[in-house]
Structure 1
């Protein structure tokens, strides 16, 4: 007598959902993958427009520390499916990877679309069905999943469900956090969504924006409170964005929430000590103008000189005072950009609702993964790695549950 094949629904066809579907199909489970958008993985494709940063090559302990307060909850999943396993998975799809100079890991194609096409072919060959334009609305009185589709309501009965519904950033790409109402209606706790890896708002002077909006600030350092980072940023019409800003996004957001603003300190020449910089400025010929002195003696670019002038009521007369301002330029962040443009989101389903196997404690046949959980991380490959790793963990939880049943 042939045993019945278990059927699992994976709701959300982003990176986490695709990975969960892959793991389950490989185990011989019948998988139907649902997404409310007309096509899958739209945010994944957006992430790959500038080069798909899959993960990072740094030592695992340092890697795990990037997740802050959620590191303890994410660590078992990431240890079980670490960056090397993700690279092997990508290479199994025909997408070889390489480590960039910053330690970040990219596919050699440097794009998301070739990997996604290969992935979808792999899923189709494994028998996974993709049902697009299916907006999940919860469960009916008999426990079946309910969807709104262009053809009308649909109810689907399965043996287990994986929710991979995403966060709330870039909602036009599919993940808008609308699932929150469904889970809260079921009595589950969901932390408010907030932008992460987002731009920040500053009150630039009228003359800076027309000339320098879109100009990069290279090789700078930033500090917010006790946190210090080195990297790059970009001047925008509203303020600043870029990797160095994103790395401090949690600290900046929490400071704005707490006190209405955040105090940033920018080092325009982190490669020079304060003493060396002061000596160079003091040795500059007296005939040089203020801007020429900054350019030739301090090595500042025009955009850095313009930033230095922001809020400067009087030019420091002494080289030491000018060097201190170059090394510790104060900037006041008045707010942060919203979820509609943030790279990722903080908040989501509370960890207290989730067991170690990524099943809902209140409903052990429903598993969760990806960005819909309450964690955040900086850019650099950490976002996608946690999505993939938690998806594998959820799929393993489903397999164990089906086996026990």
Structure 2
């Protein structure tokens, strides 16, 4: 008789696990609270469907916080392995100018999802939709679900929890499971936003009027790192890949100090001395027009400069050059969780062993965004879910079943 595996949740890590589990060895069933699987995967594709990043693995592992929790798994199932897996699903990929990996056009997210579902169907994996997980029975040997019409108890030999974090709740990733896990004595951490809008007080400026305006070819610096990329001004702050990558630094500072300070470099490609040289030689006329022309600054960039300078700083080439390379952005909070691309928090990593098995509940495993880890956008989040799902499937395939 085959051992029974119950997969709770139908997001990316669940799909990657399910497509690679050996159904000759296991009887597998997926329980999803929504009516369809992979909804967050589709939402993630709305802004450009970067599947992974093409960084060499020694650089790839450094994008995950904490590094050590996933490093050995990434070395086994890295971005090249992921691309090969996708190719076997008839999803060819290409590397974009940003070094991110995308499906070859005109392949859309729904087509990627359909290929995953096709494999799951071929493997005779049962999908039980509209099943909301409610917890366990008294001795943790059965899973409790609420359906549209009744309550259900499900026996299992192994359970794999893949219910996601707490962002994009409309996809089903609402973190309702956190209290259930905590009541079971499993150490969990509160959810916090990551890869999200950073809130800045624009009330004493006109910067909020530029909401939706991009700042391209810039860099943002924290005390720990500098990231080149793009930002978008919002009514209440900033968002974009450059500042998303500083999420952990910003969140740590906010949790410790109540505020966070990062610095915007409007011209990362040129030095302070070069900026001073470009601004020198002004004799008369309109100083703002001169600055804008010499440095090719946009209106929103000029507004950010004015917001952070007095008359002397603004009109002195040396002071202005230093400011242009170091515009302070005082962040007072992270954007709301439901608008965040991802979250941190959830099951503490010390609550699982090296195989993602819950320390106090043998044969019950947690993967994906339910675990408390972090990574920037750019394909790293999906790569992390792929690596965990792939590792666990292969661990099951090669282990002696209970």
1:250 aligned partner: 248
Which of the numbers 102, 113, 116 marks the counterpart of 1:106?
Answer: 102
TM-score w.r.t. structure 2 length? Answer: 0.95
Distance 1:181 1:133 in 2: 20
The farther-off stretch of 101-110 and 120-129 is 101-110
Distance 1:215 1:222 in 2: 17
**Given the alignment of the two structures, is residue 32 of structure 1 paired with residue 33 of structure 2, yes or no?**
no
The 5 Å alignment of 1:253-292 reads: 253-284=251-282, 286-292=283-289
1:372 aligned partner: 370
Superimposed CA distance per residue, residues 310-360 of structure 1 (whole angstroms, 9 cap, x where no aligned partner): 143324332111111111112211211021111101112111111112211
Structure 2: 5+ residue stretches without partners: none
**Given the alignment of the two structures, is residue 87 of structure 1 paired with residue 118 of structure 2, yes or no?**
no
Distance 2:340 2:157 in 1: 36
Which of the numbers 292, 303, 307 marks the counterpart of 2:304?
Answer: 307
1:133 aligned partner: 130
Q: CA deviation at 1:209?
A: 4.4
Distance 1:50 1:262 in 2: 27
CA contact (8 A) 2:244 2:377 kept: yes
SS in 1 for 2:145: strand
Distance 1:214 1:253 in 2: 23
SS in 2 for 1:363: coil
TM-score w.r.t. structure 1 length? Answer: 0.95
- RMSD value, Cα: 1.6
CA contact (8 A) 1:367 1:398 kept: no
Distance 1:27 1:320 in 2: 71
Structure 1: 5+ residue stretches without partners: none
The 5 Å alignment of 1:311-330 reads: 311-316=308-313, 317-330=315-328
Q: CA deviation at 1:404?
A: 4.3
CA contact (8 A) 1:197 1:246 kept: yes
Alignment CA distance shift 1:168-1:400 (3 Å): same
Superimposed CA distance per residue, residues 39-72 of structure 1 (whole angstroms, 9 cap, x where no aligned partner): 111111011112211111111111101113x211
1:157 aligned partner: 155
Distance 1:146 1:330 in 2: 51
Which of the numbers 190, 201, 204 marks the counterpart of 2:202?
Answer: 204
The 5 Å alignment of 1:46-85 reads: 46-68=43-65, 70-85=66-81
Distance 1:242 1:295 in 2: 24
Alignment CA distance shift 1:378-1:59 (3 Å): same
The farther-off stretch of 390-399 and 266-275 is 390-399
SS in 1 for 2:193: strand
CA contact (8 A) 2:3 2:401 kept: no
Superimposed CA distance per residue, residues 150-201 of structure 1 (whole angstroms, 9 cap, x where no aligned partner): 0210111122111111111122221111111121111110111111111111
CA contact (8 A) 1:368 1:394 kept: no
CA contact (8 A) 2:308 2:327 kept: no
Distance 1:258 1:211 in 2: 31
Q: CA deviation at 1:28?
A: 4.0
Q: CA deviation at 1:215?
A: 0.2
**Given the alignment of the two structures, is residue 144 of structure 1 paired with residue 142 of structure 2, yes or no?**
yes
User: How many residues of Structure 1 are paired with residues of Structure 2 in the alignment?
Assistant: 399
